[in-house]
Amino acid sequence: MALEEKERIIIPDENGEEHLFEVLFTFDLDDTNQSYIAVTPVEQSEEEEVEVYAFRYEEKDEDDLSLFPIESDDEWEMVEEMLNTLAEQENEE
């Protein structure tokens, strides 16, 4: 069985430094009519707890995404619930 190559994206921080992230999954929420992406930094040590970041995104074209911070508590709760559900499904496989 071949390992599936994970999609990776580069996200600049507030200082303009670029960081490589692995895309865990993307999903849409019907409640908000928005698309979301969950990513984790590629460069993490094995001992560290895995950090997962979520953003709302809009696709400009196939290779260009605009990321937006999730700002409202209600939106965070919906995203967090979806992340937990997707993580549980992945663990069951």
List the domain boundaries for the chain. Answer: 17-89
pTM above 0.85, yes or no: no
Rounded Cα distance between 49 and 59, Å, is 30
Asked whether 51 and 45 are in contact (CB, 8 A), the reply is no
Phi then psi for 65, rounded to 5 degrees?
Answer: -115, 145
Question: pLDDT tens across 35-90, in order?
Answer: 999 999 998 766 677 788 899 999 887 778 899 999 889 888 988 888 888 778 77
Rounded Cα distance between 26 and 38, Å, is 6
Mean pLDDT of 2-16: 80
- Tokens matching residue 62: 């196939």
